[in-house]
Structure 1
Amino acid sequence: MKIPHISILKSLFLSLFILIESPAFAQAEVVINPRAITVNGTRGESITRTVTLRTNEKINNLKIVTSDLLSADNNSILPAEAIKLTSSPTQVIPQELISLPVKFNLQAASSGEFTGEIVFTYEAGEKTIPVIIRLKDPWPLPLIALLFGIIIGMAVSAYSSQGKLSDEVTVNLENLRIQIDSDKVEARSFWSRADMYLTVAKQARDAKQITDAQTALNNAKEVWNKWIYQRSNWYIQFRYYDMLRNRLNQDDLRDTSALYIQALDRDLEQYLQNSPVLSTPSELQQLLDKLSQQINTYLQLKTQLEKLKDLISVLDQPEQRYEWEDKTSELTQHFYMLLPSQETEIQTLQTDINTSIEKLRGLGAQVSEVFKSVDGSPEVGLVIQAPSVWNKDSLQVPFLVKRWRAIASLWQTANGRLRLFYLSSYLISFTVFAGSGFNQLYWTKPTFGANGWGDYFALLALGFGAEATRNVVTQVARKADESTS
């Protein structure tokens, strides 16, 4: 006899329900909180987190398994031994809330982010808790690095505003001193004037008056550049000065009672000493040429007076001779009182002497017209005109800078400190800014080049930014110099 289909289905559903409700087939529901563990800590710490566990059914053989935590690049690990559970029950009673302390020992861990999981296994299944641990270095060393950077910045600022200016003045003083001392003999008044400015600059630097020291140093450079750029033309005029000096020292012009000669001697020396304030050698040439003409004028007047005296000496009548001697004495006295600047008086005296000579010749006085100079030659010792200055631009003679003396330490000299300052700006630019950026954009980026030219332009911008930062730092130092000056 066949059983109806409906009765068979009812029997099957009833059997299935009985099997599901039996303890052998029941599934235990395990609830674990928190669902993930995140730890933000510092190397060397020991951190504890609490995990709670609850189940609706009794579970046996509960095991908690920890594994190594890996860094993002899988190059560093936090070993499983660093994760410990203080208590781990093997059985859990239904509806019982169990607290499981999880201790993370971070003494031997390195800084970075580590990920892993804690696995809870039991008879009917398993549960996992993701674990993320982020570690950083302890605060003392970063704080020291920060303070060290601040100290370096303060030192650079202090050196830029005070020591750097003084060192620059010292270096320029030493270099310019070497240059002028190598050309001391030929430079003459240029050396004297530059040496005076260098002495003033050194005294101002020692007195911490940097602005005054820089001003004096710039004046010394200006004087010395004027000598260097037209050295040959200045030298020609100095040789002509020597010739005029020798002419004034000859016996026929050593008459110190003549104000004219005393004025010429004074003017000649003044022209030499004031050469550094003249714009070009042509100005000195004009002054010396004028002085040579004044010497010739004096010699001509003196020669005419001597001729007048000789004509008087050959007069036959004593009365005429006495009368002309008195007049000649007046002319001679007037001659000794003349100054080179009294051109009108000189012209008048010259006219009076020539008129007297013509009158004496009208009285029949005749003498030889040949007058000898001090060396015996039939000349009156006139002075030639000053040599001309080149019209072409003088060749610029480069500064002859000798090598600096060997020094034990760069920091012990101003020159060394300046070199260290500028070198450090490049080192900071390429090691700190560029180095850290290259490390971030290249070494720590495993897919460099995946973006094509974009990655390379990022490096290009980084290099430009590093140099721009270095330039800003040096510009700040330079602006500090300008504001101080």
Structure 2
Amino acid sequence: MKDLKLGYIVLFAATWGLLLTAPINAQAKVTSEPTQLTVTRASDTTRTLTIFLRTTDPITSLQVTPLDLYRTDGVEIVPATAIKPVQPTVPIKANSLLTIPIKFDLSSIPSGEFNGKLLVRYQDDELIIPISLRMKDSWQRPLAVLVLGILLGMLLSSYRSQGRPRDEVLVRVSQLRTQIRTDEVLKEQPKQPFRKRIEEGLVDVEAALQAEQWDKARQAVEQQENVWLKWRKYRSEWLELLSRGVDELQHSLESMPKSSNYTQTVSLNLERAVKDSPSQDNPALFRDELESLRKQINHYLELQHDIGELKDLCNQLPDEPEELSDNQKNHESNIETCQREAQRLEREMNALYPTDENAYKDLEDRVKVAIDKHRELVKPEIATREGSTPISQAPPTPPVGNMSEEELFKKKFSKNLYPGERTRLRLFNWASYLVAVVFLAGAGFNQLYVSQPTFGANPWSDYFTLLAWGFGAEATRESVTKVVRDWGLPGLK
């Protein structure tokens, strides 16, 4: 029994001895600071880090050995030869601090995150120090790609807001010019009203383009296209009315006294009607206007014929003897009265306004009354007077040809500014674009490059993201600017 108790005591003492000595034997003789190495490269080609080794016991042999580093995707490796530690000299005294520089050659290492180990061997033990290497592409190329994306976005925005509307208008103007060049009638008649109207409208287009008023330029082009379509659709009717119809009216006007207010008014109305003919919706409306002018001319010719007949009646009164009685004197005064009345009626006719139907009817009635009154005083066998015949009805309508050739827009639509103003305007525009590029590039570069320690590990994804960010950022800026401009706030036009 005593031997059994003695055995338990010995076993208990041996167990406690093992427990007390185990931590001492397991305690590392060498510790490192830091416990893990992390290297990040952006632009430099070499990097040197220092580790501090602390030993509690003397060390007679110590060797630092790097191992290969593997990228997280397993595709690329960093060979151990790129990591060059400075081997320490031995022996090393107890409780000493050892400094070991480690040089990393990063010149040929691709971008990405690499992980590996650094072995510190001493005596019969070793210390493992984890190594994490994070590589990214140099900043120049990512920044260039980002700026390229922003510039592409700006070019697209600028073209969409200015170049595209301008080019669309110029293309439509060119098409309209081409169509005009195919019409031989307009080509041979520079003063033809439809051609003049289109040319005048294209001047408005040019002015709108110079002022960068794209909507106004589009509207002006549409108006001229409508004029051309109107001509093309009814060109046979237009040609008949503008040639034979107008010529007949002008020929009739030549037989009327040019000094007459009536003649001048009708002539001006005819010129206005011809000039405004492209504004009419169809030839029928223009024909009605010509018919109204024909009617006015006929009124004048009819009155002119009647007053001429009255003058003939005054001249055809019977001759009287040389010795005049009282009755003969009265007869002579009747001749003078007839002539004075004819002259008065003629003045009223010349002063008559062509569209005043009531005044015309009144004058016509008074002329007829005067003719009837004086006809009774002359011999019944007087001959009737041949006067001016009224013009026939207004014309129908025939064919047209093609259009005249005009040079395309050769002007550059430059701002008519003095050199000083033009220079300041250009400087301001370039400064605005430069500020936008700097701010957008700074924001995108910080977000997509600076904060990404392994940028370039996936080149297609990383660089395309930069390009798309720059392009999209400019498109967003342009859209926001347009929305704010549409608010119409002062200073945001």
TM-score tier by shorter-chain length is 0.5 to 0.7
In the alignment, residue 195 of structure 1 is paired with which amino acid? Answer: E
Q: How many residue pairs are counted as aligned between the two chains?
A: 410
Q: Distance in 2 between matches of 1:216 and 1:196?
A: 15
Instruction: Kindly indicate whether residue 380 of structure 2 is the aligned counterpart of residue 365 of structure 1.
Output: yes
Give the Cα separation in 2 of the matches to 1:471 and 1:107. 39
Match of 2:305 among 303, 306, 314: 303
Counterpart in the other structure of 2:176: 179
Q: Structure 1 residue 216: deviation in Å?
A: 7.3
Equivalent residue, structure 2, for 1:382: 391
- SS, match of residue 64 in structure 1: strand
State the TM-score, normalizing by the size of structure 2: 0.63
Amino acid in structure 2 at the alignment position of 1:104: F
Contact 2:110 2:135 in 1 (8 A): yes
Question: In structure 1, what is the Cα distance between the partners aligned to 2:16 and 2:351?
Answer: 152
Q: Which amino acid aligns with 1:357?
A: I
Q: 75-84 or 92-101, which moves further after superposition?
A: 92-101
Query: Residue 117 in 1 paired to residue 114 in 2?
Result: no
Q: Are the equivalent residues in 1 in contact too, given 2:294–2:393 (CA < 8 A)?
A: yes
Q: State the partner residue of 2:367.
A: 353
Contact 1:299 1:381 in 2 (8 A): yes
Tell me, in whole angstroms, the C-alpha distance in 1 between the residues paired with 2:249 and 2:72: 96
Q: Does 1:473 align with 2:478?
A: yes
Alpha-carbon shift at residue 294 of structure 1 (Å): 0.3
CA gap 1:217/1:370 in 2 versus in 1, 3 angstroms: farther
User: Percent of pairs identical after alignment?
Assistant: 23
* Structure of greater relative contact order (alpha carbons < 8 Å, 6+ residues apart): 2
Counterpart amino acid of residue 28 in structure 2 = E
Q: Deviations over 1:401-432 (max 9, x none)?
A: x9x99x9xxxx999xxxxxxxxxxxxxxxxx9
- Match runs of 1:74-473 below 5 Å: 74-89=74-89, 92-142=92-142, 165=162, 168-169=165-166, 172=169, 175-176=172-173, 179=176, 181-182=180-181, 184=186, 188-199=192-203, 202=206, 210=211, 217=217, 220-221=220-221, 223-228=223-228, 230-231=230-231, 232=233, 236=237, 239-242=240-243, 243-250=245-252, 253-275=255-277, 284-308=286-310, 322=335, 324=338, 327-359=341-373, 362=376, 365=380, 380-385=389-394, 470=475, 473=478
Q: SS at the partner of 1:4?
A: helix
Q: Determine if contact 1:59/1:91 at 8 Å carries over to the other structure.
A: yes
- What CA distance in whole angstroms lies between the structure 2 residues aligned with 1:278 and 1:285? 10
Equivalent residues of 1:120, 1:126 under 8 A apart: yes
Over the residues paired in the alignment, what is the CA RMSD in angstroms?
Answer: 5.3
Distance 1:130 1:195, change over 3 A: same
Q: Distance between the aligned counterparts of 1:225 and 1:471, measured in 2? A: 36
Decide whether the 8 Å contact of 1:38 with 1:131 is kept in 2: yes
Counterpart of 1:393 in structure 2 is none
Q: Work out the CA distance in 1 between the residues paired with 2:358 and 2:2.
A: 166
What code does the residue aligned with 1:365 have? P
Q: 1:358 deviation in Å?
A: 3.0
Q: State the one-letter code of the partner of 1:302.
A: Q
Note the residue ranges of structure 2 that are not aligned, 5 or more in a row.
321-330, 398-405, 415-443, 449-456, 460-467
2:381 and 2:480 map into 1 onto residues whose CA distance is 86
Q: In the aligned structure 2, how far is the partner of 1:179 from the partner of 1:317?
A: 73
- In structure 2, what is the Cα distance between the partners aligned to 1:236 and 1:275? 12
Measure how far apart 1:297 and its partner are: 0.9
1:192 maps to amino acid: K
Map of 1:439 onto structure 2: none
Report the CA distance shift for 1:27/1:354 in structure 2 as closer, same or farther (over 3 A): closer
Q: Could you tell me which residue of structure 2 aligns to residue 420 of structure 1?
A: none
User: d(CA) in 2 for partners of 1:476 and 1:55?
Assistant: 66
Contact 2:82 2:105 in 1 (8 A): yes
Q: Structure 1 residues 63, 367: closer, same or farther in 2, change over 3 A?
A: farther
How high is the TM-score relative to the length of structure 1?
0.63
Give the CA deviation at 1:220.
3.7
State how far apart, in whole Å, the 2-side matches of 1:472 and 1:86 are: 54
